[in-house]
Structures are given as structure tokens and as C-alpha cells.
Structure 1
Amino acid sequence: MKTKVLILAAITLLILSCNKDTYNTRPKLTFKEVNGNVFGNAQAVIFTLEFTDKEGDVQDSLWVQKVSRTNGCNNFGDRIKIPAYTSTSNLKGIFEVGYSTSVIPNSNYTILPKCSKDDTCYFKFWVRDNGKNVSDTVVSPDIVILK
């Protein structure tokens, strides 16, 4: 019985010691959610992304690309400068990226290009840190922007 307990304890310690550090030099970006799937006139489209970075220097840029699946509708690209902050090692945080389908009073959201028909599209996101390390690209689910 003692041998079985010791073997189980040794296996458990081995598994725990083999866990990899989840923070890497290259930033990691994870798509969390978008606040809807169909958007009408004067609505905000807000994407939530989670990031991790070993050095905590995700302070360069976040890139966004809108890709339309609808013929005749425009694609869209954007570069968002990430504000400076005091970096800490093994940083984990959230980016909220917002756009609007048309003018929203008292809003600072960038307005997405209009289309003459309902626009089924998705968005791609990637981030670069101060060390010029670039994350993988994450992709949103399809959304529809009504004409």
C-alpha cells in the first residue's frame, strides 16, 4: 500500500514539475467575445480579447482587419496604438476594441465602412510588443452589419 502511495505521489510531482510556463516572450492573444452577432444602425460592435506576455511589454500596436464575406462590401484595416503603462512580468490583461455601425452621439468609436447591403463579415486581430514580437492572429465569429 505504501508503495502505491509513493508511486502516485511521484507521478503527481512529475506531472506538476512538467507544467510549462503559460507566459511566452511572444504575446499570446485569445478571442473572448463580441457583444452580438447582428448589428443595426448606430450600434457599437465591441470585441473582447485576452492577452498574456512574459515581459509585459505589449505596448506597441493592436491590428484589426475586417474581412467581408459579402460581394461589394469593403474590407477595413486599423492599427490601434497601445498606450504606455508600467510593465510587469507575466502580464495578463484584456483589450476591448470598439467600432460603430454609424454615428453614435458622445462616442469615440471609429465608424465602420457602410455597405449597400447586409454585410456578413469577420474580424482578425493581432498584437505586437515593444520587442517587435508578434502574436498569432485570432479571428472573430461571423457578424452581420445591417445596411
Structure 2
Amino acid sequence: MKKILYLLLAVGLLYACKKDNVGTKPLLFFKSYQPDSITPDTRQFVLTMRVEDGDGDIEDSIGVAMLKDSEQAVNKDTIWQFYKMPKIGQNRGNSIKADVIMPFEEIDFAAAYNPAPGDSAHYIVFLRDNSGNISDTVPTPKFPFRRNR
């Protein structure tokens, strides 16, 4: 019985001491939209992304661009908006997993609203940390532009 207890203790210690496999390059994942579509009455559209970083220095900036389906064939330019990440210096040097909540006000998407049936859009997002490491550019799922709720 003692041998099994020591074996379980050793396995538990090895698992607890396992290094986090998040490196210095920030990782970015889509989490959610709120609401799930844009209508003529939408005043705020919230994009939430999950961020993971091995050294916790994600204080530089996040780049976001909205790509509309109806404009993809016509417009080849990507218009990026850059936002400064909040100061989270207490996490520098430590692995961090956090949600980045980006509330877009009506002015950010009103010009993109098109009541044409079937139009939709998605965001592409990337993150740059203080060390200059850049995450992969992550496309989010599409969200529709709806005429009515």
C-alpha cells in the first residue's frame, strides 16, 4: 500500500512541476461575440478573445480589422485599428491566460452596416507583446448583419 502511495505522490509531483507549454509568442483564440449579430438597433458589439503568453508581457498592442463579405472582392486593403493593451506589469515574467474584451461602439461598425440580405463580416486579430513577439493573425467566425431582430 505504501508503494502505491509513494508512486501516486511521485506522479502528482511530476504533474505539478510540469512546465506550462506556452512560450514567449502570445497565443490568441476567439472566445465570443455579444450580441451574435449587428442590426440597425445595435449600439455596442463586443468581441472577446482569449490570450495566453508564457512571459506575461502582453502590454504592447492588439490589432483588429473587420472584413465584410460584400466588400472582399472589391476592396483588397485591410484597415487595421490598433489598441493599447492595459498595463498588467504585475504579471510580467509569469505565464498569463486572460480574456481581452473589446467593446466596439456604433461608430466603429455603423459605416459597415449594410441592410443587404445575407451580408456578414468577421474580424482578424493579432497581438504584439513588449518583446516584439507577434501572435498569429486569428480570424474570428462570421457574424451576420440583420435587418430586424
Cα deviations by residue, 1:28-76 (Å, 9 ceiling, x for unpaired): 2232211022211141221012324344432332111223334668685
Aligned position for 2:102: 97
TM-score for the superposition, normalised by structure 2:
0.71
Report what 2:108 is aligned to. 110
Partner of 2:51: 51
The structure-2 alpha-carbon separation of the partners of 1:98 and 1:77, relative to structure 1 and needing over 3 Å to count, comes to: farther
Instruction: Tell whether 2:15 aligns with 1:15.
Output: yes
Deviation at 1:127, TM superposition (A): 0.6
Letter in 2 for 1:131: S
The aligned residue for residue 137 of structure 1 is: 137
Q: Which runs of 5+ in 2 are unaligned?
A: none
Residue type at the aligned position of 2:83: K
Aligned to 1:67: 67
Q: Any idea what SS the aligned residue of 2:79 has?
A: strand
Q: Which runs of no fewer than 5 residues in structure 1 stay unpaired?
A: none
CA contact (8 A) 2:115 2:145 kept: no
TM-score, with length taken from structure 1 = 0.72
Report which of the two has the higher share of helix: 2
Distance 1:124 1:24 in 2: 22
CA RMSD of the aligned region, Å? 2.9
Which structure dedicates a bigger proportion of its chain to strand?
1
- How many residue pairs end up in the alignment? 139
Provide the identity percentage.
24
Per-residue deviation at 1:15? 2.3
